[in-house]
Amino acid sequence: MNKSFRIGTMVLLPLVTLFLGWQIGATYEQARLHDISEQLEILYGGGEVDGEILSNPEEEVDLSLLWGVWRLLIKHYIEPTNLQAQEMVFGAVTGLVNAIGDPYTVFMTPQENTEFHQSLEGTLEGIGAELTMRDNQVLVVAPLKGSPAASAGLLPEDVILTVDGVDVTEESLAQVVQRIRGPKGTTVKITVFRPESNEQKSFEIVRQSIHVPSVEWRVTETESGSVGVIEMNQFGDETVPEIAEALNELRSEDLAGLVLDIRFNGGGYLEGAVDIASMFLTDGKVVSVERRDGDPVNHYVSGRPTDPEIPMVVLINKGSASASEILAGALQDHHRAAIVGIQSFGKGTVQEVFELPGSASIRITTAKWLTPSGRDIGAEGIVPDITVDRTQEDLNAGRDPQMDTAIEWLFSGEDVGAE
């Protein structure tokens, strides 16, 4: 059976030649579509005319303007060979979806849809940065670990101003991505505005093949004892078993506690966040999904925790989004872990992907995430219990005050409390 997917991550244009894109969440049954006319009918399903909700847009919306413009182009446009019907349909659908004004609701062409699915495999070519559109600006969500973007010094919240000398401040996310993408080994020059320091910075980045490890772990020795560190770079296909493997190996060590590092983790599978939370929580909710109609749908832990007692700290930053925020929010609300770092990105809406004819798809915002205590992740993000920044100077010098604070907290004997 074909399937559609609920998305739990950033609004990222899924271009495998550029960056790891929209990671997928829970699976839903696919809407079965058969031809372009049915595709358009489905896409017109919802909206308002003069304040009234449309029940049947095909009957209630006059599309004569669209067809009139199409005929005028056919009759008068100077380069008739440029009037490619399929591309014009894609353009019309893209404009229809973009008119909603929700950057998370996106139409994907067949190529973009294919690259979207490939991105979850963890191997891609490009600069290795997750991008999004916010307040009509294209900005960096997070550079992927070990990527050319990270090595060059791109940071979360950097606003992209120019690409190869071209001003892109009035362009869409798709247009900016199109300029940045390119073959492995080629160079792209990107100028950004960095709000943190109120300055412009330019980077020359060589596009490369990028492998994104889902999970990495190690034991850090200190004068006070040993601490296990698990770095989660994404919530992908293999993340849950890799976390289980890491915990199994670390369990044999004499550890004072565990640091779960989800900094720069843009999210992924909803089930992954629930499954990983279930490893540390004995009972209770992990997240609630609130739709426009009906009661919220609650997702609970499995009731089979593997490590419910080990002291924990979770590290977050501006690059922590979606499934990362779900996991951090659940552990915080249940007082299971101390949250250290800076406020997370705040990606708190749910998207479902519906496959369309011709291998295209549409991604629609259908709900929002709420933490177990009812906090709106999209409105608030996750606010750490202990706020500690890690500046560019710290990065350049190899310092990690957030990790240092987390380890110090584990040996402090402080309690995060209980429900």
Ordered by start, the domain boundaries in the chain are: 3-114, 124-211, 215-349+367-412
351 is annotated as an active-site residue: yes
Average pLDDT score over residue span 373-378? 94
Average pLDDT score over residue span 141-150? 84
Q: What is the pLDDT of residues 23-71, one digit of tens each?
A: 322 222 223 223 333 433 433 344 444 556 667 788 888 899 999 999 9
What CATH fold (topology level) applies to the domain 124-211?
Pdz3 Domain (2.30.42)
Cβ(7)–Cβ(352) under 8 Å? yes
318 is annotated as an active-site residue: no
Q: What is the pLDDT of residue 123?
A: 53
Question: Is the model's pLDDT at 15 over the cut of 50?
Answer: no
Average pLDDT score over residue span 381-401? 91
Question: Is the model's pLDDT at 16 over the cut of 50?
Answer: no
Neighbours of 58 (CB within 10 A): 12
Q: Of 119, 347, 368, 402, which is the active-site residue?
A: 347
DSSP string, 177-209: HHHH---TT-EEEEEEEETTTTEEEEEEEE-EE
Average pLDDT score over residue span 372-379? 94
347 is annotated as an active-site residue: yes
* Residue whose entry in the numeric block shows the structure tokens 């049947």: 56
Q: What is the pLDDT of residue 30?
A: 29
Question: Is the model's pLDDT at 22 over the cut of 70?
Answer: no
Question: Is the model's pLDDT at 237 over the cut of 90?
Answer: no
Average pLDDT score over residue span 154-180? 89
Question: Is the model's pLDDT at 2 over the cut of 70?
Answer: no
Question: Is the model's pLDDT at 116 over the cut of 80?
Answer: no
Q: What is the pLDDT of residue 31?
A: 30
Predicted model pTM = 0.72
Q: Of 351, 361, 368, 402, which is the active-site residue?
A: 351
Mean pLDDT, the chain, integer: 83
Eight-state DSSP code of residue 31: P
Region label for 200, one of left (φ > 0), alpha (ψ between -120 and 50) or beta (otherwise): beta
71, with CB counted inside 10 A (0-12, 13-18, 19+), is exposed
Same fold, 124-211 and 215-349+367-412: no
Question: Is the model's pLDDT at 246 over the cut of 90?
Answer: yes
Q: What is the pLDDT of residue 219?
A: 97
Q: Of 320, 322, 332, 344, which is the active-site residue?
A: 322
Helix, strand or coil for residue 6? Answer: strand
Higher pLDDT, 157 or 313: 313
Cβ(254)–Cβ(285) under 8 Å? no
Listed range (57-71, 284-298, 325-339) with the worst mean pLDDT? 57-71
- Can you tell me the distance from the alpha carbon of 21 to that of 327, in angstroms, rounded to the nearest whole number? 19
Listed range (8-12, 60-64, 123-127, 337-341) with the worst mean pLDDT? 8-12
For residue 169, the number of C-alpha atoms closer than 13 Å in the C-beta half-sphere is: 8
Higher pLDDT, 316 or 235: 316
* Residue whose entry in the numeric block shows the structure tokens 């006319």: 37
In degrees to the nearest 10, what's the CA dihedral of 368, 371, 372, 375? Answer: -90
| Whole-Å CA distances, 226 to 14, 230, 297, 311, 411 | 40, 13, 40, 12, 10
Listed range (47-51, 130-134, 290-294, 302-306) with the worst mean pLDDT? 47-51
Q: What is the pLDDT of residue 5?
A: 35
- Can you tell me the distance from the alpha carbon of 115 to that of 125, in angstroms, rounded to the nearest whole number? 11
Eight-state DSSP code of residue 144: P
CATH class as words, domain 215-349+367-412: alpha beta
Under the banding of pLDDT at 50, 70 and 90, the label for residue 111 is confident
Question: Is the model's pLDDT at 212 over the cut of 90?
Answer: no
Higher pLDDT, 321 or 13: 321
Q: What is the pLDDT of residue 35?
A: 36
Q: What is the pLDDT of residue 124?
A: 62
Counting residues of the chain whose pLDDT is more than 70, the rounded percentage is 84
